[in-house]
Each structure stands twice: as structure tokens, then as C-alpha cells.
Structure 1
Amino acid sequence: MDNRFITIEGLDGAGKTTITHRISKYLKNQYGVTNILTTHEPGGTPVSDFLRVLIKYGGPMNEPINNISELLMIYAARLQLIENVIKPSLSKGYWVIGDRFDLSSQAYQGGGREIDILLLHALSDRITNTLSPDLTFYLDISPELSISRINHRQKLDRIEQEPLSFFDRVRSCYKKLASERKNIVTIDATQSLEEVSVSIYRHLDWWFLHP
């Protein structure tokens, strides 16, 4: 198979980062895919990493960040990543495995923040500019489990500190989008990491047989 763009989505604590690297290792070992790049959002370029700090922890003097401002920073970071990393890598034949992409904005800012869907779609269309993952794995866990898994972290960011109702909306939006789009595979991430990995490997095997 030629270059491919795979993304991993879900609530914090679902195991996205670990699964991103496991997929990369599986593709190398099982199918000999050597040109693989992993990315994460928000972040991935110097400008995107700077915006990541603002998005996650706020600006100087504890200035409140408006929901629309947050959304615009996320898309600015994404645009930098797309234009300076993802597209050039794909054009060179690399496989890109992304820890979050545009679906996160639909779920977190659209579902969680309840930002107008027309604005979200307009930004998405303009920024991603037809770039869409070939395959997305949505790691589904409950908000309660998500919170219990991340509570050990030394410092929770702005979004991680949102109330349970926020994450209920995020999850509902994820599940709705996953049910509507054929390129999204829902994985029960309440299973052990090994079980989650095996489920994903099986889907990847099927995908290779039915490109």
C-alpha cells in the first residue's frame, strides 16, 4: 500500500498515545512499512507546540480564554502541522499515524463546548482542505473511566478540569460521528491494553486485505 494517514481518537486516558506507537511498531514488524511518522495534537511544530501550551494551560496573568479563541488556536496549530509536517511527509510516501486530528475538534469544541456546527465545518473545510484520514480508530471509554485514569497526573490542563457533563457531551459526539462515517472504527478501550491492541491489529490486517 502507498502512503496512508491513520488517526487515533478518544477521551484522555483512553490509551491513544500508546496505541499510536503500537500501530507504528506493528506496521513495521508485520508489513515492513518503514517510512512512518507519528504526530500529536495540538502540537508537532514549534508554532503548534507554543499554541499547545496556551490551549492547555492558558496565557499570562490567568487571562480567561474564550471558547472561540481556543478553537481558532487549535485550528492554527493544526494548519501548521498539516502544511509543514503531514502533507510533506505524505508526499514523500510516508505513513502518518496521528494522535488526534480534526475529529477531536468536532467532539471537544463542537460537542463539549457546544460551538456552532457551521463555524466548525467552515474551519474544518478551510484548514484540512480535503485532507482526511484513511482510517480512524476511536477508543471508546466512559467519562468516569477517563477521569479515573488521568487523576494521577501531576497537573490537569484546562480541558481535563472540565466537569463530567462536558465529557458526556464529548463522548456522545464521538459516538455519533463514528456511527456516521465508514472510515471510523470504534474500539472498546475499557479492555486491557493488550486486548485493545489485538482488536486494532485485526482491523489493520483486514484493511490490508481490503485496501
Structure 2
Amino acid sequence: MAFIVFEGGEGVGKSTQLELLCKALKHQGIACTLTREPGGTPFAEDIRALFKQVNAHHDAPLPLTELLLVSAARAQHIKKVIQPDLDKGNFVLCDRFLDSTYVYQSMLGKIDKKTVDNISQIILENIMPDLTFVFIADPQRAIERIKNEKKRENDRLDTAQSNIHFKIKDCYLEIFNKQMPYPNGNIPKRVLINANGTIEEIYLEIKTAIFNTLGITL
């Protein structure tokens, strides 16, 4: 079993690589669960819809409200999907996890990391990814990808000022470079992914990291 997380800003190509990796693992006979945050269960997906919507009254959630919503969805997700599937010996591939909370609610939302960690410690119960891929792409290229994604769900972040994507990139790089610890004080294994390349080039980076970290050849 392994818990693998894909992190990064909007439009960096995480979803494509998640699907490729899950398909490759299944081809090797490895049970694989593909999931996402916020979301992953019906109730958590309802929270995601509330969190992501562009509403008509322009009453966007405050950073603390976002933190509580994301944390509530994560509690449901861990108990109903992540932990049970790991207990079965499955691989769990997750689109976003705690590093996204550090970026969006702590670093961008100006909520102290200690507050995030105090809430998250209760929810995580020492769950940590075995491997976290941090996707870094040129923000302008990411913006173009967002515009070209016809099936993309409506997202208030996509309608924000374009400079937010540059800030998000810098935040993820800071987490990686400073080796930011989880609430339990441990530092997860993070691998930086150059998401400016082709799908094939990015996937090669991922396969290499999977072999180096988990000893699995894809």
C-alpha cells in the first residue's frame, strides 16, 4: 500500500498524471483508489461544491471558514476512503492534501500554521503521504490550460486575478524548499515535478520517483 498525493496550483496537469499513474498501477495488478480534496465522499463533495462555487451574492468564504470547510471534508474523506483503502492494502492517489491547505488557507489566507496544524492534528491521526508530487509550472502556461479545459468545473479561483497563480506557485516552492513539516513534526517525502514539459516528460519524472521511492517499475 502507499498514499501518494499530487499537489500544485490550478492548471498544472495533475489530473492527467493521476489518471496515468492509476492506470499503470492497475496494469501491474495493484489495487488503486483515485480520489481528491476537497471531496472524495458524497458528503465531502457537497462541501467541495459549497467551497468552490462562484456565488451570485459575492459573499466569498473567509480564510478561516475555508479552513474549517476543508478540514471537515478531510475528516470525512480520511475516515470513509483513505484509511479504509490503505488498510485493504490499496494504493491511494489523491489530488491535493494538507500542503494545499498550507498554501491556500495559511500562506495566502494569512492563517497561522499553528492554527492549521492544531486542527489538522485531530483529523489526520498521523496519516502522512508516502510520496507527495509538487507540480510547478509557468503560471502563464497554467492559465492557458485552464482556459482550454472545456470540462473544467466552475471555480472561483479560476476567476480571480491572474497574479494569484504566481503567488500559488511561490507558496508551493516555499513549502518544498523549506521542507515544511506536518503537524506531527515529520517532513513528508516531496518530489518537485517540472510541469512545463509534455505529458510524456512529466510522466517519466513520476515513474522515476515511484521507482526510487517505492521500488515499483512502471
TM above 0.5, one fold? yes
Report the 3-state secondary structure (helix = DSSP H, G, I; strand = E; otherwise coil) of the residue aligned with 1:185.
Answer: strand
Moved over 6 A (4+): none
Mark the CA change 1:169 to 1:62 in structure 2 (over 3 Å): closer, same or farther: closer
Q: CA RMSD in A?
A: 2.0
Q: CA deviation at 1:206?
A: 1.9
Relative distance call for 1:83 and 1:125 in structure 2 (3 A) is: same
Residue in 2 that maps onto 1:134: 130
State the Cα distance separating 1:106 from its structure 2 match.
Answer: 0.7
1:193 aligns with 2:213: no
1:118 to 94, 98, 114: 114
Name the residue aligned to 1:35: 31
In the alignment, the residues of structure 2 paired with residue 100 and residue 66 of structure 1 have an alpha-carbon distance, to the nearest angstrom, of: 20
Change (3 A) 1:47 1:60: farther
1:148 corresponds to: 144
Matched residues in 1 for 2:148 and 2:24: separation?
29
Q: Deviations over 1:62-108 (max 9, x none)?
A: 54322211111111111110011110111111110111111111112
Using the TM superposition, give the Cα deviation of residue 60 of structure 1 relative to its aligned residue in structure 2, in angstroms: 7.6
Question: Which among 200, 204, 209 is matched to residue 203 of structure 1?
Answer: 209
Gaps of 5+ in 1: none
Q: Could you say what secondary structure the match of 2:176 adopts?
A: helix
SS across alignment from 2:34: strand
Q: Find 2:190's aligned residue among 170, 179, 184.
A: 184
Provide the residue aligned with 2:40 in structure 1: 44
Q: Distance in 2 between matches of 1:162 and 1:60?
A: 15
SS at match of 1:93: coil
Distance 1:47 1:202, change over 3 A: same
Question: What is the alpha-carbon distance in structure 1 between the residues aligned to residue 188 and residue 5 of structure 2?
Answer: 14
> Secondary structure of the residue that 2:197 maps to in structure 1?
coil
Amino acid at match of 1:134: D
Distance 1:27 1:124, change over 3 A: same
**Among 15, 36, 45, the residue aligned to 1:17:** 15
Mapped contact 1:111–1:172 kept (Cα < 8 A): no
Query: For residue 111 of structure 1, what is the amino acid of its counterpart?
Result: M
TM-score (norm 1): 0.89
Unaligned runs of at least 5 residues, structure 2: 180-186
Offset at residue 182 of structure 1 (A)? 5.7
More helix by share: 1
Give the structure-2-normalised TM-score: 0.86
Contact 1:111 1:169 in 2 (8 A): no
Q: Could you say what secondary structure the match of 1:64 adopts?
A: coil
Letter in 1 for 2:68: L
Kindly indicate whether the alpha-carbon contact (under 8 Å) linking 1:140 and 1:187 is maintained by their aligned counterparts in 2.
yes
1:100 maps to what in 2?
A: 96
Cα deviation for residue 144 of structure 1 reads 2.0
CA distance in 2, matches of 1:190, 1:108: 22
